[in-house]
């Protein structure tokens, strides 16, 4: 059976034009997707059933047992952490928040190790952005800063920017200028009209220089800033100011390099400055397909996009204190529920070691690095393959991921609701 307009639940581009062929509850071909999508749909090797650590090995357990044990672990914990969420649908995330509230725990999503600093910058100066279609239809200047879309978001350029023809841009390739700023050459920089090769740690200075030029203070600029020549900085500023519609996209190369949230703040303020001359927008290249959804869901329920601590009964937010990495580093956390992410692969070593010391339950379809730290793993359906639900694209557009067939696995939401019900029941008695 061929299914059209399938949503790819891999990266923040959330492409919704895939054509997928399904036979015997298995995806057998994918059209329109990038290599990452093919990987996601075609190489879906799942854990067969819940497993519990047993000495040096694993023992199969039933779903009921696994759910009961998870509830007990959470009830028993003084400082539980519910982490992950970027790889599941909004309905499951929502149950997660209510669970965290119920047990007075901390809930955090993967922004903590990716665009957390971007969020902090936005909380200081705001965020002039737009939906991706606005860029596709209008933008004649595109800037990628600290981002390599060809690698991490392979269809970003063809669907939304560089190669995407739009209403006011009939021939994207000819009518659009592409600027790439990065500390190294990448596949993306290779196709740029201007490549700003910035010294490591020099993003903040380069952004400040551009701001100064746009402000009309160009005479302050020395002959080189962070490895970029004065001439090139002027040229780039000029391209931006002359744009009819410009769009900046930034990635972890800017967010996670020295300066962190200050870099993002500077980039946003450059965008605001450019708006005095023309139309300009800026957007983070969100990585996981529904990390932005976790920010949205957490926000409408708690008021904050990530790192929320319910220990005092109210929702308390203080990145640096209530963020997962910090809680684990301080050795504070005494039980962890990991949902739809892989902290074992992405957290600092000391955090991973702490996770291995405490009861860690992972709800995830696949064996990953976190499996090796976990006490218990509960496999589930994959949203976008055998489960459906809401996802928020990197620009905030909500799309419903399709279910391509009905498989035998329960989905995240069902598992979490059962855990929630057990915890609630235990709290009542």
- Comparing CB distances to other proteins, the nearer of 134 and 232 is 134
In angstroms, the CA 35 to CA 92 distance is 27
Tell me which residues touch other proteins (CB under 8 A): 4-5, 7, 16-17, 90, 94, 98, 101, 119, 122-134, 136-138, 159-160, 166-168, 244-245, 272, 275, 278-279, 281, 295-297, 299-305, 310, 312-315, 317, 390, 392, 396-400
20 with 403: CB under 8 angstroms?
Answer: no
In angstroms, the CA 342 to CA 374 distance is 11
Instruction: Provide φ and ψ at 145, rounded to 5°.
Output: -120, 120
Buried b (16+ CB within 10 A) or exposed e, 324-362: bbbbbeeeebbbbbbbbbbbbebbeeebbebbeebbbbb
382 touching ligand SF4, by CB under 6 A: no
In angstroms, the CA 26 to CA 197 distance is 45
399 touching ligand SF4, by CB under 6 A: no
Instruction: Provide φ and ψ at 47, rounded to 5°.
Output: -65, 140
Shortest separation between residue 56's beta carbon and other proteins, angstroms: 42
234 with 294: CB under 8 angstroms?
Answer: no
Eight-class DSSP state of 18? E
82: Cβ–Cβ under 8 A, 6 or more apart, which residues? Answer: 96, 99, 100, 105, 106, 107, 108, 336, 337, 339
Residue 38 touches which of other proteins, ligand SF4, none (Cβ within 5-8 Å per kind): none
Residue 126 touches which of ligand SF4, other proteins, none (Cβ within 5-8 Å per kind): other proteins
Shortest separation between residue 18's beta carbon and other proteins, angstroms: 10
Closest to 280 measured CA to CA, from 269, 293, 295: 269
Shortest separation between residue 208's beta carbon and other proteins, angstroms: 18
| Segment 20 to 39, residues that bind ligand SF4, using CB under 6 A | 33-34, 36-37
Shortest separation between residue 112's beta carbon and other proteins, angstroms: 15
Residue 224 touches which of ligand SF4, other proteins, none (Cβ within 5-8 Å per kind): none
Shortest separation between residue 41's beta carbon and other proteins, angstroms: 17
Binding mask 37-66 for ligand SF4 (x = CB under 6 A): x-----------------------------
Shortest separation between residue 32's beta carbon and ligand SF4, angstroms: 7
291 touching ligand SF4, by CB under 6 A: no
Closest to 369 measured CA to CA, from 147, 84, 114, 107: 84
270 touching ligand SF4, by CB under 6 A: no
Residue 33 touches which of ligand SF4, other proteins, none (Cβ within 5-8 Å per kind): ligand SF4
- Comparing CB distances to other proteins, the nearer of 252 and 315 is 315
CA atoms lying within 13 Å on the CB side of residue 384: 30
- Comparing CB distances to other proteins, the nearer of 47 and 81 is 81
Binding mask 141-180 for ligand SF4 (x = CB under 6 A): ------------xxx-------------------------
Eight-class DSSP state of 404? -
221: helix, strand or coil: coil
Shortest separation between residue 404's beta carbon and ligand SF4, angstroms: 14
Shortest separation between residue 394's beta carbon and ligand SF4, angstroms: 10
Q: How far is CA 362 from CA 317, 320, 336, in A?
A: 24, 24, 8
Pairing of strands 316-317, 335-339: unpaired
**Which residues sit at the interface with ligand SF4, rule CB under 6 A?**
8, 10-11, 13-15, 33-34, 36-37, 153-155
């Amino acid at each position: 059976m061929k299914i059209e307009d399938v949503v790819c639940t891999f990266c923040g581009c959330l492409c919704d034009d895939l054509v997928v062929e399904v036979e015997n509850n298995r995806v057998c071909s994918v059209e329109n997707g990038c290599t990452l999508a093919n990987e996601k749909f075609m190489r879906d090797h799942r854990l067969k059933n819940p497993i519990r650590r047993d000495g040096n090995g694993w023992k199969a357990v039933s779903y009921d047992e696994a759910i009961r044990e998870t509830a007990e672990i959470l009830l028993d914990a003084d400082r539980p952490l519910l982490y992950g969420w970027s790889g599941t649908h909004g309905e499951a995330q929502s149950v997660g928040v209510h669970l965290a509230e119920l047990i007075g725990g901390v809930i955090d999503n993967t922004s903590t190790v990716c665009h957390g600093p971007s969020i902090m910058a936005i909380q200081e100066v705001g965020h002039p952005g737009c939906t991706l279609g606005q860029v596709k239809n209008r933008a004649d200047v595109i800037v990628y800063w600290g981002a390599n879309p060809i690698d991490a978001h392979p269809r970003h350029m063809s669907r939304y920017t560089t190669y995407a023809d739009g209403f006011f841009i009939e021939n994207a390739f000819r009518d659009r200028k592409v600027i790439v700023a990065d500390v190294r050459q990448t596949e993306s920089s290779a196709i740029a009209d201007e490549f700003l090769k910035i010294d490591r740690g020099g993003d903040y200075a380069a952004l400040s220089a551009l701001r100064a030029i746009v402000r009309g203070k160009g005479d302050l600029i020395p002959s080189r800033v962070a490895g970029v020549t004065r001439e090139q900085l002027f040229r780039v500023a000029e391209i931006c100011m002359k744009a009819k519609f410009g769009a900046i996209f930034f990635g972890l190369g800017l967010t996670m390099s020295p300066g962190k949230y200050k870099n993002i703040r500077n980039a946003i303020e450059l965008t605001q400055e450019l708006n005095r001359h023309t139309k300009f927008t800026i957007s983070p290249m969100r990585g996981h397909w529904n990390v932005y959804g976790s920010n949205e869901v957490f926000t409408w329920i708690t008021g904050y996009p990530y790192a929320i601590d319910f220990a005092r009964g109210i929702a308390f937010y203080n990145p640096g204190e209530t963020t997962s990495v910090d809680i684990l580093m301080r050795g504070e956390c005494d039980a962890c529920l990991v949902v739809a992410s892989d902290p074992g692969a992405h957290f600092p070593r000391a955090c991973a070691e702490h996770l291995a010391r405490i009861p860690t339950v992972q709800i995830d379809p696949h064996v990953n690095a976190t499996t090796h730290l976990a006490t218990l793993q509960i496999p589930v359906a994959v949203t976008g393959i055998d489960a459906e639900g809401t996802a928020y694209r990197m620009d905030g557009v909500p799309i419903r991921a399709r279910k391509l067939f009905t498989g035998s696995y329960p989905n995240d939401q069902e598992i979490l609701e059962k855990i929630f019900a057990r915890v609630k029941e235990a709290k009542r008695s």
